[in-house]
A and B are shown apart, each in its own frame.
Chain A
Amino acid sequence: MWQNYLFPATVQEALELLAHHGGQARIIAGGTDLVLQSQRGQCAATVMIDITRIPGLDAIEERDGYITIGCQVTHARIAASPLIRQKAEVLALACGSVGGPQTRNVGTLVGNVVNALPAADGAVALFALEAEVEMVDASGRRWLPIAEMYAGVGECTINPCAQLVTTVRFRPLSDGWASAYQRLANRKALALPILNTAVVVGLEDGVCREVRIAIGPVAPTPFRAREAEAALVGQTPDAEAIVRAARLAADAADPRDSILRGSRDYRKAMVEVLVRRALTEAVTKAMP
């Protein structure tokens, strides 16, 4: 595995270490995925740069109209955060469904994102929240829409040899907005999802102002069911409209056959069920 393990004190130092080791180094936070990748020969890095001791990256806070979550924040902290539970419930539920307590205690939301798996619970929720991530490299900092982080299954657009993600942010869900999370797995803990969906709904005068439906794994990246969303916007979200939207989501989903987690046709059928349930739940919660 790796031959050196370093704790930079600042983001700047982390970037310098990445540069110094010229492609041999990787950023590690919780390491719950990276350690296994390293053991299984899927990550050849010889230097681990542990960013969990850099000050200032461990906050969950609301500022300037955003909720921001630092890259050291674990799934467990998000799942338990009153702020997240109140203003981005879908993310708390998603993070609370990852693995088991020990994994959630160590694994981070940002790690979940940069691993770029299409069914990563936290990431699917962030798609529904239209989150942005702050990417830092030698040229500075910039905010990217979360969807731009993904190049394919397990492929993140972040250059692991030169860039790192410090923060995730999204708009809190205010009055008239609500979210829901649905997940199907082979057992109730310690299981990757067969299918998951995160839904955010904004209502105005009983009509959908905005709808966001994220689903995994039905595409190489977490998937937004745009046609389904569009079909609801401007509509009264009654049972019929929700069923129609859920069907559109299932039509658009393109899951693959997995011998361990479920066939394509089962997953496709379940998209309709989970999206319908999530929309129903979110709409109910969003009603005044």
Chain B
Amino acid sequence: MQLKAVGQGVQRLDINQKVRGTRKYPQDFNMEGQLYAKVVWSAHPHAVVKRIDTSVAEALPGVVRVITYRDVPVNEYGINIYDQPVLVAPRHLAGGGQGGGKVRWVGDRIAIVVAESERIAAHARDLVQVEYEPLPVVDDPRRAMQPDAPLVHENRESNILKHIVIRRGDVGLALAHADVIVEGYYTTHHVEHAYLQPDAALGFVDDESRIAVISSCQWPADDLHQIAHMLNLPEDQLREIVPAVGGAFGGREDMHIQHLAALCAFVLRHPVKIVFDREEVTQRTGKRHPFYMRYRTGATRDGRLIAAQVELISDAGAYASTSIPVLGNAATFALGPYKIPHARVDAYTVYTNNAVTMAMRGFGATQPPFGYESQMDKLAEVLGMDPVELRMKNLLDVGDIAVTGNVMTAETGVKETLRRAALAAGWREEDGHWIKPDLGTPSAPYKRRGIGVAVAYKNVGYSLGFEDKATAKVELALDESGEIARVVVKVAAVEVGQGVLTALAQIAADTLGVDMDKVRLALVDTSETPDAGSSSASRHVFISGNAVAGAAAQAKEKWQTILREETGEMHVEAEYTFRGRSVRPTTPFDPETGQCEPHISYSYATQIALVEVDVETGQTEILEFWSAADAGKVINPIMYFGQQAGGVHMGVGYALTENYIQQEGRPRARRFSEYHIPTVMDMPRQFESIAVESAPDPNGPFGATGLGETPTLPTAPAITNAIHDATGVWIESLPANAERVWRALRAADKL
């Protein structure tokens, strides 16, 4: 097959409208006579709701309705477990299900005020009176695990939502024989997705009497699944339309707003618009899990890893969301991309009254690298070995066995990412040894330079037995001469900014052998576009790309038949479902040993940071940064660069500036002026993206896997390892902001 689109930096399909400002996001849609809704949020992180009085609010002129628990047919939802009330009911009326009776975090909802204008709705929401009886707040998962901790969900025996074990070999014996053992206790923090477009939705009844929403989201079919349960309606009486989405990063995997707009339309049979402001997005939607990670790693004197013992505790917040699969992922990646014959992993996720935690770029693969890559540098230091060399000795290769007992296959390209990144950053390889580059002179006498490396890997596609599939439909319009005039690809793969529309169009174009300008992707609308799963798990290029390639190949075959048989047909249609299990069936953890086939495919990254640390203030500046990733075949090099740079942006914020601070379950970083994503000035001054195509996946479309998440994973440990190289102090908690580094320097008497 001749590649004319795949591998080329073709122009993004949506970019013309985006630079003109004409591409519409959910808040840009309006309907004649629409009403406006505002949510009444919980005022407490943990409290019994004793009474809800909407009468004053409802008496305000212009208020149409105050929607409460009474209006919700089945008052529960949740992406994984139906453990969240849609609208909390007072305790004496709560009854069965998750109707509530109490609020479990500040993102719980009491009511939705619907009014003729946004101003009136905003005013009226302050008039809804709610009587609470505050309960003790549990805000640390380690405390929440104790038997005497207050229960977040009283129908459970414990706040521990899930405990996963992995047992491989004999860790005790191996550690007893290890020449060196290093230990560490690493903690990560709550992180906000901070997508730029605040959640917005417009609910209405469509011309086929369906309850419809125009909304931002990541997986429309799953939204409908949950909304159908909540409204007690069949899914075919529901519809979700997904226009442009202003970023997601996992943050829109859970429903924040679309179910509320659907409920309003269901109750009022009228268009209702809801737009969150930034404070609502920041304080009332989910976050990345904080992890508390204890590592013990043993190695031989010549630098071979032999054993690792890991405990992971994650803060699930008030509701399950995807905390269990996130924990599962974290457990499978707890050791990093290394061969370690003896391992023991205990992973827990625990309910608290903190913010709900959920998917966020990496999905449990983002926190462990801070642990395992810090451990690698500690080992390198103890062994007196170069950090690149130590990693080279231990990285997984094709045929190696990972901690879950699975054999690494053809797409294992991690070593090459390390080699390429190290060479780009100035390392030299001599006689099998790796030699660190000279770092130059610091820009001030009170600054120190350091360089740090980190490696990470991550699954592509859903994991651990959860079925991954996508369906695509390809329609060809033929011209008089029988040539393909237009191609329409219908696939409900949500474009959240990552470029999936363009990548899928490239795959369709080359599969069909047509020019890109003939290919159009249909607007995602559950009534028109077949389910392709979520925009998550770095999966669309692999899973939906295979679906599009399959549908396109079938369409091409039909078209060629038409040409051969001269039927004169002008229209060709083909639909194809790709299932991940057709290339590699994944399996759940064995409950005793954790052994399994965890993932469909993988991508890998090595990053290197050259930093300068001000040893008087603790401030870190990143001078240069290298990011080498292997996600198989590069579909679009310009967008590939964008994923790397964007992933690093999120990693830099994770490492240095971002911190979603709560105190006793109450948000303290409440808005953008208090939650600091890096500005352009905070990014590394020099940045190099290295596309390593050393290990294409024979099962991926054109050999591609997926790059959406991997470039975020190694950033933080690359930076903290560089800080160590510069200063000699280990940073074991994120973010490594100035004060934290200063404290570490002070504790080590290095000020």
Answer yes or no: A and B touching, Cβ < 8 Å: yes
The reply on A189 being an interface residue by CB < 8 A is yes
Give bound CA distance, A262 to B679, whole Å.
20
Closest to B621 in A: A188
Q: For chain B residues 709-751, which have a beta carbon within 8 Å of chain A? A: 737-739, 742-743
Contact of A273 among B616, B676, B681, B743 (CB under 8 A): B616
Additional 6 contacts, C-beta under 8 A, given A186-B738, A260-B669 = A187-B678, A187-B681, A187-B682, A189-B681, A194-B738, A260-B661
Q: Closest CB of chain A to B332's CB: distance in Å?
A: 34
Once the chains bind, are A187 and B619 in contact (CB under 8 Å)?
no
Also in contact, A266 and B739, with CB within 8 A (given A186-B657, A260-B661, A273-B616): yes
Once the chains bind, are B676 and A191 in contact (CB under 8 Å)?
yes
Once the chains bind, are B617 and A187 in contact (CB under 8 Å)?
no
The reply on A184 being an interface residue by CB < 8 A is yes
The reply on A263 being an interface residue by CB < 8 A is yes
The reply on A138 being an interface residue by CB < 8 A is no
Q: Which 9 A-B pairs have the closest CB atoms?
A: A188-B681, A189-B679, A266-B739, A273-B616, A187-B682, A187-B676, A187-B657, A189-B681, A186-B676
Once the chains bind, are B617 and A186 in contact (CB under 8 Å)?
no
**A188 CB contacts on chain B under 8 angstroms:** 679, 681-682
Once the chains bind, are B682 and A259 in contact (CB under 8 Å)?
no
Give bound CA distance, A269 to B678, whole Å.
25
The reply on A190 being an interface residue by CB < 8 A is yes
Give bound CA distance, A71 to B329, whole Å.
58
C-beta contact mask, B607-629 vs A, less than 8 Å → 1, else 0? 00000000011010000000000
Once the chains bind, are B676 and A184 in contact (CB under 8 Å)?
no
Once the chains bind, are A269 and B742 in contact (CB under 8 Å)?
yes
Q: Closest CB of chain A to B512's CB: distance in Å?
A: 46
Once the chains bind, are B682 and A270 in contact (CB under 8 Å)?
no
**B738 CB contacts on chain A under 8 angstroms:** 184, 186, 194
Closest to B740 in A: A266
**B143 CB contacts on chain A under 8 angstroms:** none
The reply on B686 being an interface residue by CB < 8 A is no
**B680 CB contacts on chain A under 8 angstroms:** 189
Closest to A99 in B: B673
- Chain A to chain B contacts (Cβ below 8 Å), 29 pairs: A100-B679, A184-B617, A184-B619, A184-B738, A186-B657, A186-B676, A186-B738, A187-B657, A187-B676, A187-B678, A187-B679, A187-B681, A187-B682, A188-B679, A188-B681, A189-B679, A189-B682, A190-B676, A192-B673, A194-B739, A259-B661, A259-B668, A260-B661, A260-B674, A262-B739, A266-B739, A266-B743, A270-B617, A273-B617
Give bound CA distance, A267 to B148, whole Å.
38
Q: For chain B residues 656-686, which have a beta carbon within 8 Å of chain A? A: 657, 661, 663, 668-669, 673-674, 676, 678-682
Closest to A258 in B: B668
Give bound CA distance, A32 to B345, whole Å.
52
Give bound CA distance, A262 to B743, whole Å.
12
**A187, A191, A266, most chain B CB atoms within 10 A:** A187
Closest to A36 in B: B673
Closest to B742 in A: A266
**B743 CB contacts on chain A under 8 angstroms:** 266
**A192 CB contacts on chain B under 8 angstroms:** 673
Closest to A184 in B: B617
Q: Closest CB of chain B to A275's CB: distance in Å?
A: 12
Q: Closest CB of chain B to A130's CB: distance in Å?
A: 28
Once the chains bind, are A259 and B739 in contact (CB under 8 Å)?
no
Give bound CA distance, A113 to B663, whole Å.
32
Contact of A186 among B616, B663, B681, B737 (CB under 8 A): B737
C-beta contact mask, B297-320 vs A, less than 8 Å → 1, else 0? 000000000000000000000000
Q: For chain A residues 250-272, which have a beta carbon within 8 Å of chain B? A: 259-260, 262-263, 266, 269-270
**B681, B682, B737, B739, most chain A CB atoms within 10 A:** B739
Also in contact, A259 and B619, with CB within 8 A (given A186-B676, A186-B737): no
**A270 CB contacts on chain B under 8 angstroms:** 617
Give bound CA distance, A270 to B741, whole Å.
13
Closest to A267 in B: B739
Q: For chain A residues 181-229, which have a beta carbon within 8 Å of chain B? A: 184, 186-192, 194
**B668 CB contacts on chain A under 8 angstroms:** 259-260
**A191 CB contacts on chain B under 8 angstroms:** 676
Closest to A192 in B: B673
**A259 CB contacts on chain B under 8 angstroms:** 661, 663, 668
Closest to B681 in A: A188
Once the chains bind, are B669 and A263 in contact (CB under 8 Å)?
no
Give bound CA distance, A194 to B669, whole Å.
15
**B676 CB contacts on chain A under 8 angstroms:** 186-187, 190-191
Give bound CA distance, A271 to B680, whole Å.
27
Q: Closest CB of chain B to A29's CB: distance in Å?
A: 20
**B669 CB contacts on chain A under 8 angstroms:** 260
Give bound CA distance, A263 to B663, whole Å.
15
C-beta contact mask, B635-673 vs A, less than 8 Å → 1, else 0? 000000000000000000000010001010000110001
Closest to B743 in A: A266
Give bound CA distance, A262 to B663, whole Å.
15
Once the chains bind, are A190 and B673 in contact (CB under 8 Å)?
yes
Give bound CA distance, A186 to B682, whole Å.
10
Give bound CA distance, A188 to B668, whole Å.
21
**A190 CB contacts on chain B under 8 angstroms:** 673, 676, 679
Give bound CA distance, A262 to B742, whole Å.
11
Q: Closest CB of chain B to A248's CB: distance in Å?
A: 18
**B663 CB contacts on chain A under 8 angstroms:** 259
Q: Closest CB of chain B to A140's CB: distance in Å?
A: 39
**A187 CB contacts on chain B under 8 angstroms:** 657, 676, 678-679, 681-682
**A184 CB contacts on chain B under 8 angstroms:** 617, 619, 738
Q: For chain A residues 78-118, which have a beta carbon within 8 Å of chain B? A: 100
**B661 CB contacts on chain A under 8 angstroms:** 259-260
Give bound CA distance, A188 to B617, whole Å.
14
**B617 CB contacts on chain A under 8 angstroms:** 184, 270, 273
Give bound CA distance, A257 to B679, whole Å.
25
Closest to A191 in B: B676
Closest to B618 in A: A266
Give bound CA distance, A100 to B619, whole Å.
20
Give bound CA distance, A172 to B104, whole Å.
59
Q: Closest CB of chain A to B472's CB: distance in Å?
A: 42
**A273 CB contacts on chain B under 8 angstroms:** 616-617
Q: Closest CB of chain A to B677's CB: distance in Å?
A: 8
Once the chains bind, are B739 and A263 in contact (CB under 8 Å)?
yes
**B616 CB contacts on chain A under 8 angstroms:** 273
**A100 CB contacts on chain B under 8 angstroms:** 679
Closest to A272 in B: B616
Q: For chain B residues 568-601, which have a beta carbon within 8 Å of chain A? A: none
Closest to A182 in B: B617
**B674 CB contacts on chain A under 8 angstroms:** 260
Closest to A270 in B: B617
Q: Closest CB of chain B to A2's CB: distance in Å?
A: 13
Give bound CA distance, A273 to B444, whole Å.
14
Closest to A276 in B: B616
Give bound CA distance, A189 to B679, whole Å.
7
Q: Closest CB of chain B to A276's CB: distance in Å?
A: 9
**A260 CB contacts on chain B under 8 angstroms:** 661, 668-669, 674
**B663, B668, B676, most chain A CB atoms within 10 A:** B676
Give bound CA distance, A269 to B741, whole Å.
13
Give bound CA distance, A71 to B289, whole Å.
47
Give bound CA distance, A187 to B676, whole Å.
7
**B679 CB contacts on chain A under 8 angstroms:** 100, 187-190
Q: Closest CB of chain B to A18's CB: distance in Å?
A: 27
Q: Closest CB of chain A to B442's CB: distance in Å?
A: 15
**A269 CB contacts on chain B under 8 angstroms:** 742
Q: Closest CB of chain B to A52's CB: distance in Å?
A: 24
Give bound CA distance, A2 to B339, whole Å.
66
Q: Closest CB of chain B to A42's CB: distance in Å?
A: 14
**A262 CB contacts on chain B under 8 angstroms:** 739
C-beta contact mask, B510-529 vs A, less than 8 Å → 1, else 0? 00000000000000000000
Q: Closest CB of chain B to A270's CB: distance in Å?
A: 6
Give bound CA distance, A263 to B661, whole Å.
14
**B678 CB contacts on chain A under 8 angstroms:** 187
